[in-house]
């Protein structure tokens, strides 16, 4: 079905030393017939974070709920609903949430570069 | 700047027979260095709509606020915050908002296929 609600899709929960308190879902990907780019939705609970890392593909991000932060150019930038972030290829970046409320964001990548 | 708030960007307002009560913004595009796909944010006020049309590129859509509808396969599907929609290439589609609240959605397309 082409129309879904992200909360109706079972998430992959990541909670280890590298990725903490994060639930991720592929909402639109190759299985849906999307050949060019892939939409994932991530929920990050309090004290959650992604790794500080870089890779040779870009991210296009839209913040749906909550108040997180993104590390880019060695500076933490605050994010709120309606924020957009472009992470260029090979740019070091990290996301974190230090608030009680769930930080929810959409993150798009080119097709085929990552499993989630 | 890679981090923006969509409401800080001046919209293009479309209000004619084809597109009604819609404000659109390119948030991440080629000018930002995004070579593969383009993020737009659209706000649609009450009684707003896009044209019923098809084109040879896909849409990947995430609903941020409000309650709109999408026409696909000759059926109107309700949309609410957190809904995602994949419109495959060449699939006829239309969006509308019959509610008082602003219907806001993110819509991604491959780079270079449309101005907005």
Residue B76 lies in a domain: yes
Please check whether residue B116 lies inside any domain of the structure: no
Contacts of B110 in chain A (CB under 8 A): 36-37
Q: Is residue B18 part of a domain?
A: no
Q: Which residue, among B57, B54, B64, has the nearest Cα to B97 in the 3D structure?
A: B64
Of A105, A86, A85, A110, nearest to A25 (Cα)?
A105
How many domains does chain A divide into? 1
Residue at A76 is within a domain: yes
Spell out which residues of chain B touch residue A41, defining contact as CB-CB under 8 Å: 62, 82, 84
Record the pTM.
Answer: 0.97
Phi, psi (deg, nearest 5) at residue A54 = -140, 155
Q: Do B83 and A27 touch (CB under 8 A)?
A: no
Residue A37 belongs to domain spanning: 18-95+106-110
Angle A11-A15-A16 from CA coordinates, rounded to 5°: 145
Nearest to A91 by CA among B28, B2, B80: B2
Structural domain contains residue A73: yes
Domain for residue B97, yes or no?
Answer: yes
Tens of pLDDT along B4-32? Answer: 999 999 999 999 989 999 999 999 999 99
| A50, pLDDT greater than 80 | yes
Residue A58 in contact with partner chain B when CB distance is under 8 A:
yes
The answer to whether B110 contacts chain A (CB < 8 Å) is yes
- In the stretch 1-40 of chain A, residues with CB closer than 8 A to chain B read 2-7, 27-28, 32-37, 39
For residue B62, give the nearest of A33, A62, A80 by CB distance: A62
- Identify the sign of the CA torsion A43, A60, A34, A57: negative
pLDDT at A1: 65
Is residue A42 in some structural domain? yes
pLDDT tens digits for B67-110? 999 999 999 999 999 999 999 999 999 999 999 999 999 999 99
Residue A20 pairs in a beta bridge with A49
Instruction: Tell whether B103 is covered by a domain.
Output: yes
Q: How far is Cα B69 from Cα B75, in angstroms, rounded to an integer?
A: 10
> In CATH, what number is assigned to the domain containing residue B105?
2.60.120.10
Is the torsion defined by CA of B2, B4, B10, B13 positive or negative?
A: positive
ipTM: 0.97
Give how far B98 is from chain A: nearest CA, Å.
19
């Amino acid at each position: 079905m082409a129309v879904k609600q992200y909360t109706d899709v079972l998430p992959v929960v990541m909670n280890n030393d590298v990725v903490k308190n994060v639930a991720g879902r592929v909402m639109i990907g190759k299985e849906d017939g999307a050949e060019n780019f892939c939409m994932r939705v991530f929920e990050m609970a309090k004290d959650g974070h992604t790794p500080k890392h870089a890779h040779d593909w870009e991210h296009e991000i839209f913040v749906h709920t909550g108040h997180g932060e993104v590390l880019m150019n060695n500076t933490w930038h605050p994010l709120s609903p309606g924020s957009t972030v472009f992470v260029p290829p090979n740019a070091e970046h990290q996301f974190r949430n230090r608030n009680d409320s769930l930080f929810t964001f959409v993150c798009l990548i080119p097709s085929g570069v990552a499993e989630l």
